[in-house]
A and B are shown apart, each in its own frame.
Chain A
């Protein structure tokens, strides 16, 4: 498996524009997480899904942020409208807790991260 795949890797946009970040979790994983990392606040959990259903979105900063997981292999994090204070690295991660997930991964709940999407809002 290729691991967790995020796109774009880098995004530079102007204030007020819509930003969409994408994530493909590891095949067979049943949990998906979105985190935001900044120097000031460290790694913040924004939202996580279990079997495509949002479980806890209490970390989403405000209504400008929304996340979806239409199927088990794809999730998006959208910011509309974007603001300079949204500039950060956004990470997607996935894990497996239930079932066997095939031979490659055990259901230990071990978290695997993507490389991140670095967002700069001017």
Chain B
């Protein structure tokens, strides 16, 4: 059974800092891994998707990496801004289509 863990559960940083969010999964036989952002009271917005054959994806100030063998992914946010404050979730999909989420990391970027 796939289990997805995100550390830390919450993170508070000053504006401008670079930061790393962590996601680990127990079953390395994945189809893809996806990072999402969720603002309070809102739905989930897709940030980055990494296919199982890929090692990383980049979008603007965001960079996500994937190491299947160790069951880990990281989301790197460069030069953080107060607008980045949100909950970040990672989700892992298996070959059969099942997609499991971690509990998320609540990020607060202070001005």
A43 and B102 alpha carbons, distance in the complex (Å): 8
| Interface residue B64 (Cβ < 8 Å from any Cβ of A) | no
Please indicate the chain A residues that have their CB under 8 angstroms from the CB of B100 in the complex.
Answer: 45
For the complex, give the distance between the alpha carbons of A51 and B39 in Å. 31
Do A48 and B104 form a contact, CB below 8 Å, given A108-B32, A114-B43, A116-B43? no
Q: B42 on the interface (CB 8 Å rule)?
A: yes
Determine which of B43, B46, B98, B103 lies in contact with A42 in the assembled complex, contact meaning CB atoms within 8 Å.
Answer: B103
- CB contacts under 8 Å to A, within B52-111, are 89, 91, 93, 96-104
Query: Which chain B positions have C-beta within 8 A of A14?
Result: none
Minimum CB–CB distance for A98 against chain B, Å: 10
What 0/1 readout, one digit per residue, does chain B (35-55) give for beta carbons within 8 Å of chain A? 010000011111001010000
Known: A33-B99, A48-B99, A109-B32. A91 touches B49 (CB 8 A): no
Binding site for A on B (CB under 8 A): 31-32, 34, 36, 42-46, 49, 51, 89, 91, 93, 96-104
Residues in chain A within 8 A of chain B (CB atoms): 31, 33, 35, 42-43, 45, 48, 50, 55-56, 91, 93, 97, 108-116
